[in-house]
Amino acid sequence: MKDFNHEKTHVSEVDRSIYDIKDKVDSSFEVNSGLTSDIVSRISQEKNDPEWMRLFRLKALETYHKTPLPIWGPSLDGLNIEDIVTYVRPKTDMRTNWSDVPDYIKNTFERLGIPDAERKSLAGVGAQYDSEVVYHSIREEVAAQGVVYTDMESALTGPYAEMVRKHFMKLVPPSDHKFAALHGAVWSGGSFVYVPPGASVEIPLQSYFRLNAPGAGQFEHTLIIVDEGAYLHFIEGCSAPKYNVANLHAGCVELYVGKNARLRYSTIENWSKNMFNLNTKRAVVEEGGTIEWVSGSFGSHISYLYPMSILKGKNSRMEFTGITFAGEGQNLDTGAKVLHSAPNTTSHITTKSISRDGGVSTFRSAITVTPQASGSKSSVSCESLMLDSISRSDTIPVMDIQCDEVDIGHEAKIGRISESAIFYLMSRGLSEENARAMIVGGFAEPIAKELPLEYAVEMNNLIHLEMVGSIG
C-alpha cells in the first residue's frame, strides 16, 4: 500500500512579511521595565488622569501584586512582567484627520489595508499604534445620531466622564484575575462608545490595535454602552509585527447592552506569534437585549480568551461564533462563558478550531444557569479539525445547572481531513496543498460568513497562507 504520509508536503511557517513590518522605535516616553507604584503614578500623571483614576490604578496595582498567576491554563513561562515596557507612546498627538498622521505610521497601516477599510464606508476608525490613539474619526451622520465614539482618555474628562466612571471596570473588576488587575493599573488607549436610546448605527464602527515597540505591552480598554432599543456593530481587529521579546496583550472589553438593544462585537486577532494574549471581555445584557460575539483567533503564542455574557434581564440572548487556528508553537485556549440569571434567556455557542504543526487548541465553555433562570435555553457546539498527528485539540465543557426547567445541549466533534476527500479534490486538478486549504477553508466557512466582508477575505487569506505557505 502506498503510504500517503510520504506524499504529504510539509507546510512551513507562513510568510508573515506583510504583517511583520517593523518601524524604528521612536517613542517619546518609555517607562522602566519593572512595575512599581512610582511607575503607575507616572503613567497616571502623563495621561492627565482624574484623581479617582490615579487612585484606581494604584489600588489595582496592589491587587496585581497580591494575585497569583493562573495555574489552570497554558503555561505562562516566558512571560516576565518585570521585563515588559508597559507604556510606549509614539511621537504624535491625537489626530482627527488621516492626512495629519505621520508617514511611518501610515505606511504600516496602509500595508495592513487599514486605509482601504476606512474608505469603505466605515463609520469611524480609532487606530491604536502602540499605546496611544493616534488617529480617530467619526462620520458626521453617526455623531448626528448622538453616538459618541472617542478614545478612553478623552472620555474620562469629557461630557461623558460620569458615565465612564460609573461603568469603568465594574463588569471586569481588577480583582477578577491577575491580568485584569494589571490592566486596571496600566491601561492605556482604547475606545469609548455610547449609543443613545433607539439609535441604530447602520455602518460598523471599527478599531485597530497594533503593537510596535519591542517588549511593549498593550492594555487598551474598550467600553461600549448601547442604550435601550439601540443597535451597534463594533469591530476590533488586531495585527502585530513579530519581535523576539515576549509581548503581552492584556486588554479589557466591557459591553453594556440595554433593554431590547443589540450589540454585535466582532474581533479578528492576528497577533504575532510571540504574543501572550490575555484579554478579558465581558458583556451584561438587560431585558430583551442581545449580544452577538464573532471571534477569530489566529495569532499569538499563548491565548487565554473567554468572552463572558451575563444574561441579566429576562428574554436576553447571546450568540457566540468563534474560530481558532493554532499552528506551530501556539497554544490557544479559547471559549465562552455564559451566566443565565433571568428567565427565558438564550445562549447559542458555535466554535471551530483548527490545529496544525504541533499547535494546541483548547475550547472551554462554562454555562451557569441560576435558579431564577427558568425557561432558559443553551446550546454549545464545537468542532475541531486536526491537520496532523502531532497537533492537539481539547474540549472542556463545564455546566452548572441550578434550575430544572431548562433546555441544554452540548455537541463536540473532533476530526481529521479524510484522505479520500483529498483524492477527490486532487482528481479535479487541485494540488494537495490547495485541496487541504480548500477543506480547511470550507470548515471555517460558517464562521467566515459571520464576519464583515473584508475580515472574511482577510481570514480566508490567512488560512490560505497558513495552509499553502508563501507560494506566490
Partner 1 sequence: MSKPLLEIVDLCVSVEDKVILDGVNLKVNPGELHVLMGPNGTGKSTLVSTVMGDPRFTIRRGSILFEGKDITEEKVDARARAGLFLSFQVPEEIPGITLENFLRTARGAVDGRQPKILSFRKELMEQMEALDMNPSYSERYLNVGFSGGEKKKAEILQMLMLHPKLALLDETDSGLDVDAVRTVTKGIRTFSNKKNGLFIITHNAKILEGLDVDVVHILEGGRIVRTGGKELISMITNDGFGALEKEG
| Residues at the contact surface with partner 1, assessed by CB under 8 A | 1-2, 4, 7, 418-421, 423-432, 434-435, 438-439, 441-446
Cβ nearer to partner 1, comparing 161 with 421 = 421
Cβ nearer to partner 1, comparing 7 with 110 = 7
Contact 423, 404 (CB under 8 A): no
Cβ nearer to partner 1, comparing 84 with 385 = 385
Q: Give me the residues paired with residue 235 across strands.
A: 206, 266
Q: How far apart are CB 62 and partner 1 at their closest, in Å?
A: 50
Cβ nearer to partner 1, comparing 185 with 439 = 439
Cβ nearer to partner 1, comparing 20 with 432 = 432
Cβ nearer to partner 1, comparing 17 with 418 = 418
Residue among 193, 195, 212, 332 at smallest CA distance from 253: 193
Q: How far apart are CB 463 and partner 1 at their closest, in Å?
A: 11
Cβ nearer to partner 1, comparing 9 with 17 = 9
Q: How far apart are CB 66 and partner 1 at their closest, in Å?
A: 47
Q: How far apart are CB 290 and partner 1 at their closest, in Å?
A: 26
Q: How far apart are CB 438 and partner 1 at their closest, in Å?
A: 6
- At residue 118, φ and ψ (nearest 5 deg) are -60, -45
Contacts of 422 (CB under 8 A, 6+ apart): 432, 435, 436, 439
Q: How far apart are CB 242 and partner 1 at their closest, in Å?
A: 30
Cβ nearer to partner 1, comparing 141 with 411 = 411
By residue count, the chain amounts to: 472
Q: How far apart are CB 233 and partner 1 at their closest, in Å?
A: 24
Cβ nearer to partner 1, comparing 6 with 119 = 6
Residue among 211, 221, 219, 191 at smallest CA distance from 126: 191
Q: How far apart are CB 4 and partner 1 at their closest, in Å?
A: 5
In angstroms, the CA 472 to CA 469 distance is 9
Q: How far apart are CB 420 and partner 1 at their closest, in Å?
A: 6
Cell of 61: 496595582
For residue 145, count CB atoms less than 10 angstroms from its CB and return exposed for 0-12, middle for 13-18, buried for 19 or more: middle
Q: How far apart are CB 338 and partner 1 at their closest, in Å?
A: 27
Cβ nearer to partner 1, comparing 3 with 140 = 3
